Structure 1
Amino acid sequence: MGRIFKERTSVDEALELFFESFSSLSHTEEVPLEACTGRVLAEPVISGRDVPHYRRAAMDGYAVRSSDTSGASPSNPVFLQLSDCVEEGTAMWVHTGAVLPEGADAVVVVEDTVTAGNMVEIRAQVHPGKNVGQAGEDIKKENLVFKEGHLLRPCDAAVLASLGLDMAKVFRKPVVVVIPTGDELVSREKAGQVPPPGMVLETNGLMTALYVEKWGGVPRHTGIVPDRPESIKEAIEANLDADMILLSGGTSVGKRDHAPEVVESLGKLLVHGVAVSPGKPAALGVIGKTPVVCLPGYPVAGLVALYFFVRPGIRKLGSIPKVPEFVFRRRLAAKISSKIGYVNFVRVVFEGDKIRPLTGKAGVLSSVAKADGYVLVPENIEGYEEGQEVDVFLIE
C-alpha cells in the first residue's frame, strides 16, 4: 500500500468489504443452562411437553364446581361443605400452583370466602376456568419456543428448564487472538516500576481482550511482538487457528508501521485508512478465511476501531443478533467541531439534562474513562451548535 494513505474508505464501505470477506462460524456445542446466558441458540427449540403439564390453581382459595356458586354474593352467600374432594355441594382448599382436584372447574379466592366450622361461605360467583391455570397454558407441546439464532437470557434459561432440558445447543464463541506490537511496549507482568522514558506499559491489549470477551468472543492474548515484519508475520502464522486476528499498533505509515503490509503479504488487505476520526489508520484484511483487524496504537483510535469493526465482526462470526443500543437525546452545552469527510467519534459527559463534549487527543485514553458516552458526527456535517439536540450512545 506504500507509505502514505492512498485512499480513505468510508466506514460503511469498509464494513461491507470486511463482512464480505468471511462467513459466520458453523461450529456448535452444548452448554449447561447455568452457563447459557449470552449464548446463541444453534437450533430451534420445540416443546416436548405441555407447561404446565397439569391443571393448577392460580390463586389461594377453594376449588369448587362453578355451578355451585351461581348467584353468590356478599349479601347472598352460598354455603358449601369443606371436603378433601370436590363434588356437588362441596369445596376443597387449594394453594396457588396446586393440582386442581377432579370435579372442580374453578377456584374462589380466599378473600371472597368465610369459613365457619366445616362449612365455607362463598361470597362471589365464579365461572368455569376462573382462577385456574390450564395444562399447556404457558407452552403447548410441539410449540416453537425459540428460533435458531435467539440470544439466550436468564429468563430464557428458566423456560428451557421448565421443558425438562438441562443443556442448550449453541454456536461456539469466536476465538479472537490479540497481538500487541511495538518496540516501545513493556509487559505489565514484567514492569516492577515506572518504565523508562520512551517506553510505555502495554494496555491496549488488555482493553481489547476485555471488549472481545464482553462482546461474546474468547480472547487469546499473546506476548508483545517487536516492530519487525518477520516477527509480526510469525505471530500471525502461529495464530491462524483463531477465528479473528487483532493486531494492535503499527497501522499508520511511519517507518515502524508494518502491520498492514504484513497482512497484505499473507492474504488480502481490504482497507487501509478509514474515514473516521480518531481511527483513520485502521486496516482490515483477510488471511485465508480468517478476518484481520489492524487497530491503531493510539488508545482512543484503537477503541473506535474496536467499536466500528471488531464488535460487528464478532457478532457476525458468532451469529450474535444485534441488540438495540441505548440512545439518549440530549442538548449540547457547548459546540462540537468536526472534520468534514470523516465520521467523528466525540466523547461527552452528562451535565444535568445536557451533554458537554470532552477534548483529548487520540493517545489520551483517560478521556474515554472520563466520558459517559459519545456522539457520532456524520462525515457530511461540520459539527453541531451549542443547544442542538443530538443522539448520545453510552460507552460500554
Structure 2
Amino acid sequence: MTSPQRLPTSLTPLDRARDALLNGVEPVAPVELMLGEALSCVAAEMPPLPAYPPRDIATADGYAFCARDLVGASSYSPLPLSALPLWVEAGEAVPEACDCVLDSDSVDVSGPMPQVLAEAIPGQGVRRAGSDIAAGSLVAEAGRRVLPRDLLLARAAGLARLNVRRPRLRVVNVPGGSLAADLIAESARAAGADAVLSTAAGRDAGSIAAALDDGACDLLLIVGGSGVGRTDAAVTALAARGEVFAHGIALLPGRTSAVGRVGKTPVVVLPGAPDQAFAAWWTLALPVLDRLSDRALRKAVNLPLARKIASHVGIAEIVLLERKQDMWSTLAVGELSLEAIARAEAWLVVSGGSEGFAASAPVDAYMLRE
C-alpha cells in the first residue's frame, strides 16, 4: 500500500512558491483567431485601424447640400433651385461637394421649381469621416483583454480575425473534486485560456500521473488529491512525472496546494475544496496564466475598509470583498463559503507578515467582475 502524502514541517511562503512557479515562464506566441474566439483573450500587437467611416455619410434620409449655399433660406424666403437636389439614404456616402443633409420637409419639390425652406449648418445630418474610429486607432492595446466593445470596432473596420495570445491550459480533475474543477476550468476560459477539462481514471498516483499530458498545454492544473489523506496522491503523481517545488503553501485557504513542473510546463496542484481551489487559482495559477498571456499588470481598486481585518502572522490569507457606499465591506477572511465566493466583487491577500488592516485603511483589491 502506498504511503499517504505528507506536508513538510514548515509551509512555503506564498511569494516564494509563486516565484519558483514563474521562473522561466515566457509568453506564448500570438495566434490569429476569429472574433468570437478572440473574446476574453489578451491582445497581442495589432495593426492600426483605418478611419471609420471612411467618408462622410448621411445619418438620415434626405437631400444633400453645401451649407453655405443655403444661407438665408426659410419658409418665408424659399431658396429656388435650378435642379432637383441629390437624395441620399441613411448610411450612404455624401457627395464630396456637400456637407449637410436636409430632410424632405425642408425641401419643397411639389412645384415646377424645387425650393429649400430652411438653412443648415455644416455637418447637419452627416457623420464625418473618422468620427467613429480615428485613423491609427487600435482594436485593443497589447496586454489588455479583448472585450465585447472591442469586437464592435473590429467588425466596423471589416476585420474577421484578431491577433491574440491564448495559452493552452489543461485541468485534470481527480475524482471527487468536480465542483472545484468546473470552477477552475470556467475561470480559466473567462481569463482567455484555451482550457480543457479531463478526469483521471482514479485517485491513485498511477492514474493521476497517466493524465498529466504536459505536451498538450502551457499550464497544467491538478484539482484534488493534494491533502494528506489515504487516497490523496496528486503530489506523488507530480513527483513521478516531474518535479515538486513546494507542497504545503502558507496560504489560507489552500494550505495543501503544491507547485512544480513536468518538463517545461508549470504545474499547480489545487485542493479539491472549491474555496481552497479558488484561493490557489488566484494566487498561484492566475499569475502564470497572465505571464503566458503577456497580460498587463492587473489594476487594483483602492477603497477604504468598512471594518478591521484581522489576520494570522506567518500565513497569507484571502479576503473576499464587496463594494458598499464607496468602501470595501468584508465578506470572508481565510474561510470562504460558496455564497461569499458567489457574491464577492473583489479579493485581496493579507501577506504573511501582516496582522491585517485597520478600519478605514485604504486597501488595493483585485476585481472579480471585469
TM-score by length of 1: 0.72
| Greater Cα offset, 349-358 or 34-43 | 349-358
Which residues of 2 match residues 236-247 of structure 1 at below 5 A?
236=212, 238=213, 240-247=215-222
Q: Which residue of 1 aligns with 2:156?
A: 162
Name the CA distance, whole Å, in 2 between partners of 1:20 and 1:166: 36
Q: Which residue of 1 aligns with 2:314?
A: 341
1:4 paired with 2:5, answer no
1:51 paired with 2:62, answer no
For residues 128-147 of structure 1, give each alpha carbon's deviation from its aligned partner in whole angstroms, at most 9, with x where no partner exists: x6664455555577x46445
Q: CA RMSD in A?
A: 4.0
Name the CA distance, whole Å, in 1 between partners of 2:256 and 2:195: 23
CA contact (8 A) 2:317 2:351 kept: yes
1:25 paired with 2:28, answer yes
Q: CA deviation at 1:283?
A: 1.7
Name the CA distance, whole Å, in 2 between partners of 1:99 and 1:377: 59
Q: CA deviation at 1:239?
A: 5.2
1:380 corresponds, among 348, 353, 356, to: 353
Gaps of 5+ in 2: none
Q: Which residue of 2 aligns with 1:329?
A: 303
| Greater Cα offset, 294-303 or 73-82 | 73-82
Name the CA distance, whole Å, in 1 between partners of 2:344 and 2:159: 43
Query: Aligned pair in 2 of structure 1 residues 289, 314: CA closer, same or farther (>3 Å)?
Result: same
Name the CA distance, whole Å, in 1 between partners of 2:138 and 2:32: 20
Gaps of 5+ in 1: 86-91, 186-200
Q: CA deviation at 1:98?
A: 2.9
Query: Aligned pair in 2 of structure 1 residues 80, 286: CA closer, same or farther (>3 Å)?
Result: farther
Letter in 1 for 2:311: S
Name the CA distance, whole Å, in 1 between partners of 2:160 and 2:204: 50
Q: CA deviation at 1:204?
A: 2.0
Q: Which residue of 2 aligns with 1:105?
A: 98
1:317 paired with 2:309, answer no
Letter in 1 for 2:8: I
Letter in 2 for 1:64: F
Letter in 1 for 2:193: G
Query: Aligned pair in 2 of structure 1 residues 178, 391: CA closer, same or farther (>3 Å)?
Result: same
Letter in 2 for 1:168: L
Q: CA deviation at 1:306?
A: 0.7
Which residues of 2 match residues 1-396 of structure 1 at below 5 A?
3-11=7-15, 13-26=16-29, 28-31=31-34, 33-47=35-49, 51-58=52-59, 62-70=63-71, 72=72, 79-81=79-81, 83-85=83-85, 92-101=86-95, 104-107=97-100, 110=103, 113=106, 115=108, 117=110, 118-124=114-120, 126=121, 132-135=126-129, 138=132, 143=136, 145-146=138-139, 149=143, 151-180=145-174, 185=176, 202-224=178-200, 226-236=202-212, 238=213, 240-252=215-227, 257-321=232-296, 324=299, 327=301, 329=303, 331-332=305-306, 335-348=308-321, 355-358=329-332, 361=335, 365-369=338-342, 373-385=346-358, 390=363, 393=366, 395=368
Query: Aligned pair in 2 of structure 1 residues 331, 97: CA closer, same or farther (>3 Å)?
Result: same
Q: CA deviation at 1:295?
A: 0.9
Query: Aligned pair in 2 of structure 1 residues 98, 330: CA closer, same or farther (>3 Å)?
Result: same
Letter in 2 for 1:314: L
Letter in 1 for 2:40: G
CA contact (8 A) 1:41 1:170 kept: yes
For residues 315-367 of structure 1, give each alpha carbon's deviation from its aligned partner in whole angstroms, at most 9, with x where no partner exists: 33244555546x3735435x4321113332134567777635447846x5455
Local SS of the residue matching 2:18: helix
Query: Aligned pair in 2 of structure 1 residues 324, 96: CA closer, same or farther (>3 Å)?
Result: farther
Q: CA deviation at 1:298?
A: 3.5
Name the CA distance, whole Å, in 2 between partners of 1:169 and 1:132: 33
Local SS of the residue matching 1:203: helix
For residues 143-186 of structure 1, give each alpha carbon's deviation from its aligned partner in whole angstroms, at most 9, with x where no partner exists: 464455553333333333333333334444413232326xxx3x
Name the CA distance, whole Å, in 2 between partners of 1:75 and 1:226: 86
Name the CA distance, whole Å, in 1 between partners of 2:350 and 2:214: 36
CA contact (8 A) 2:317 2:334 kept: no
Q: CA deviation at 1:120?
A: 1.4
Q: CA deviation at 1:393?
A: 5.0
Letter in 1 for 2:161: M
For residues 296-323 of structure 1, give each alpha carbon's deviation from its aligned partner in whole angstroms, at most 9, with x where no partner exists: 2343122100111222322332445555
For residues 189-212 of structure 1, give each alpha carbon's deviation from its aligned partner in whole angstroms, at most 9, with x where no partner exists: xxxxxxxxxxxx742222222222
Query: Aligned pair in 2 of structure 1 residues 100, 206: CA closer, same or farther (>3 Å)?
Result: closer
Letter in 2 for 1:206: D
Q: CA deviation at 1:293?
A: 0.2
Name the CA distance, whole Å, in 1 between partners of 2:75 and 2:236: 90
Name the CA distance, whole Å, in 1 between partners of 2:359 and 2:184: 34
CA contact (8 A) 1:56 1:99 kept: yes
Query: Aligned pair in 2 of structure 1 residues 93, 352: CA closer, same or farther (>3 Å)?
Result: same
Name the CA distance, whole Å, in 2 between partners of 1:344 and 1:140: 46
